[in-house]
Amino acid sequence: MTLLQALVAFPVLLPMLGAAASVIVGRHASLQRVIGVVTLAIVCVVAGILLVAADRNGPVVAELGGWPAPMGIALVADRMSALLLLISSLVTLAVLVYAIDQRISDYGRETASTTFHPIFLLLSTGVSLAYLTGDLFTLFVAFEIMLASSYVLITRRTSASRIRSGMTYVIVSLTSSLLFLTAVGFVYAATGTVNLADLAGRMELLPDGLQTVLALVLVVVFGIKAAIVPLHFWLPDSYPNAPAPVTALFAGLLTKVGIYALLRTQTLVFPQDDPSMLLLVIAAMTMVVGALGAIAQDDLNRLLSFLLVSHIGFMLFGMAVWTPEGIAGTALYVVHHITVQATLFLVSGLITRRTGTVSISQMGGLAQTAPHLAVLFAIPAITLAGLPPTSGFVAKLALLQAGAGGGLASEIVAAFVVVASLLTLYAVARVWVRVFWGTPKEPLVDNDPNDELVVGTARSARGMYVGASSLVVVSIVIALFAGPLSGITARAGEDLYGRDTYRSAVLEPVAVIPAGDTGAGAEDAGDTGAGAADAGAADAGTDDGAGGTALAELPGAGTEVTP
């Protein structure tokens, strides 16, 4: 295993070890903060290296425990996963900086939190594992790590209202997890493997109807996680009740992991040639229902949550078109949206702390009292709506171009993209007018000092602004480097559509090693084999033949086992 291959495991291992270290130093607040920031910074660097390596030389595959792919667990960093890993870890780092400073300004520098930092890092572990994993069951485990952390984050420091919204979230997520587990069971029963690259070949041998059923079950499972209409109902209820950094992290990462999983499984295991009518219809519904829902809201966080739902539809649309360009558009859109949605929730947190309320109708004139907040909100808001010089425009253009070349149905849904963008623009413009224009209002008094949601004073420390504005900078950088970035996403789209790069990268090592030619593992296998044969000496005669075939299929074995 080369150093580069070992690096693939780092984004999973580091935050996990960091979380453990964070628990150990639980009493020392500053040490805990340093561990969190340093760990995530290293993960960012590693993700950057992986992206460059994957873009130059194809997917980086690490086989855990030295077991080749269809047998053991493989971690795969191809262009798509490395790109998403990089952008997610950047967002996670920025959100952590924001969260640390929010805690310091609320509770002072000395107060340590025994839960927040470890759980935050565990969430990061789960997200990284979900991006990198090469098999369906590890994907389930990654989702569970991620969701279990998110359950704790969303119900930490519980108030009555947070319990209420947390319950819906937990129950819906648990149900989808159990469905996922069921789907894994079905897939294994039908194909005898859970390795995604191996599944890609074996799924084609199944009857069409069975393939459709399995594809649909997975669409429902990931659809709940990604909050696509009509499975979105839990999201606008649960996200707004969590503190701003938590909401930002969830909005930026969790739903995108659902989209990524959908993209990965659908392109790899259930490839199609034509636009998928089902996904197109769901995408159009998601876009419009989300945007219309946003317009009806008065609560700033709920409005942003509905916009989040709406923009999930955009990503789904690129996938539904089923061309390399469409998938590339989805990749570009996910990258853009992770940063922008997280920024908006962070800024919404700053606004809420300043005004003491989440109700848009009770805010006003913030442009005069806090002009920096106005700038900080305006840039991501415009980006989300997709006005020309921003990264949102680039991503939407990619989607529209893909839709225009995809036949009549795609063109009709492409029109929905434009409509939903206009509705988004209307929704954020409405926020802008209500919150930033008009006469300034006095901040409302905080009626519940113990909840982190609304602090109701003008207290907000520098680090919170640093966290939020660094994400704004990231989204501007995305717009500036749209050329190289869309080059990467275009190649990632080709990879996902073509499937062969991924499959050969994961499965190749097995095909290369002939059964008889083994390395160091052979002696071990021989030893244990001899011991076992001794134990079962009574029927050794029948065993040798069967054991030989079994071993030939196993890695690192193949020496004839004779005592």
Partner 1 sequence: MTINLSMALVLAVLYSVGFYLLMQRSLMRILIGIVVVGHGANLLLQLAGGPPGRAPILDAVGLDEISDPLPQALALTAIVITFALTTYLLALGYRSWVLVGHDEVQDDVEDRRIAARQKPDGAMEEGTAAETESSPEDTADSHELEEGRK
Q: Which chain residues interact with partner 1 by CB under 8 A?
A: 137, 140-141, 144, 148, 151-152, 155, 158-161, 163-168, 170-171, 174-175, 177-178, 181-182, 184-186, 188-189, 194, 236-237, 296-297, 299, 302, 528-529, 532-533, 535-536, 539, 542-544, 546-547, 549-551, 561
Residue among 263 and 308 whose Cβ is closer to partner 1? 308
Cβ distance to partner 1 smaller for residue 47 or 561: 561
- Residues whose CB falls within 8 Å of the CB of residue 375, separated by 6 or more in sequence, listed in order: none
Query: In angstroms, what is the minimal distance from the CB of 136 to partner 1?
Result: 10
Overall residue count recorded for the chain in this entry: 563
Between CA 10 and CA 128 the distance in angstroms is: 9
Tell me how far, at minimum, the Cβ of 122 lies from partner 1, in Å.
12
140 vs 393, beta carbon nearer partner 1: 140
- State the nearest-atom distance from the C-beta of 515 to partner 1, in Å: 15
Cβ 476 vs Cβ 103: under 8 Å: no
Pick between residue 12 and residue 91 the one whose CB is nearest to partner 1. Answer: 12
Strand segments, DSSP code E, in 436-512 are none
Residue 21: count of CB within 10 angstroms of its CB: 18
Q: How far is the CB of 297 from partner 1 (least distance, A)?
A: 8
DSSP state letter for 457:
S
User: Cα-flanking dihedrals φ and ψ of residue 129, to 5°?
Assistant: -65, -40
CB of 201 vs partner 1, minimal distance in Å: 18
Q: Between 234 and 416, name the residue whose CB sits nearer to partner 1.
A: 234
As measured in angstroms, the least distance from the Cβ of 526 to partner 1 is: 11
CA distance 518 to 413: 54
Amino acid (1-letter code) at residue 505: A
Q: What is the DSSP letter of 108?
A: -
- Residue 531 vs residues 260, 385, 515, 543: alpha-carbon distances, Å: 46, 67, 22, 13
Residue among 401 and 518 whose Cβ is closer to partner 1: 518
Smallest distance, partner 1 to C-beta of residue 435, A = 18
Judged by beta carbon, residue 478 or residue 551, the one nearer partner 1 is 551
Residues 299, 240 contacting (CB under 8 angstroms): yes
Distance in Å, CB of 531 to partner 1, minimum: 9
Element (H, E) at 167: helix 160-191
Shortest Å distance, C-beta 243 to partner 1: 15
Using CA of residue 85, residue 91, residue 94, residue 100, what is the dihedral sign?
negative
In the complex with partner 1, the residue whose CB is nearer, 358 or 464, is 358
Judged by CB, which is closer to partner 1: 184, or 384? 184
The 3-state secondary structure of 335-377 reads HHHHHHHHHHHHHHHHHHHHHCCCEHHHCCCHHHHCHHHHHHH
DSSP per-residue string spanning 269-335: HS--SS--HHHHHHHHHHHHHHHHHHHH--BHHHHHHHHHHHHHHHHHHHHHH-SHHHHHHHHHHHH
**389 or 449: CB nearest partner 1:** 449
Q: Which is nearer to partner 1, 3 or 160 (CB)?
A: 160
Closest distance of CB 553 from partner 1, Å? 9
Q: Could you tell me the smallest distance in angstroms from the CB atom of residue 536 to partner 1?
A: 4
Cβ 50 to partner 1, closest distance in Å? Answer: 26
Place of tokens 């939903």: 420
Q: Which residue has the tokens 């996963």?
A: 81
- Residues 534/539/545/547 CA torsion (nearest 10 deg): -50
Question: Least distance from C-beta 87 to partner 1, angstroms?
Answer: 28
Nearest alpha-carbon partner for 287 in 433, 400, 404, 169: 400
Phi, psi of 207 (to 5 degrees): -60, 150
Cα gap 327→263, rounded to integer Å: 8
Q: Is 386 left (phi over 0), alpha (psi -120 to 50) or beta?
A: left
Distances (CA, A) of 249 to 120, 225, 256, 424: 9, 14, 11, 21
Name the residue nearer to partner 1 (CB basis): 239 or 502.
Answer: 239
- Our CB check for partner 1 shows the closer of 151 and 497 to be 151
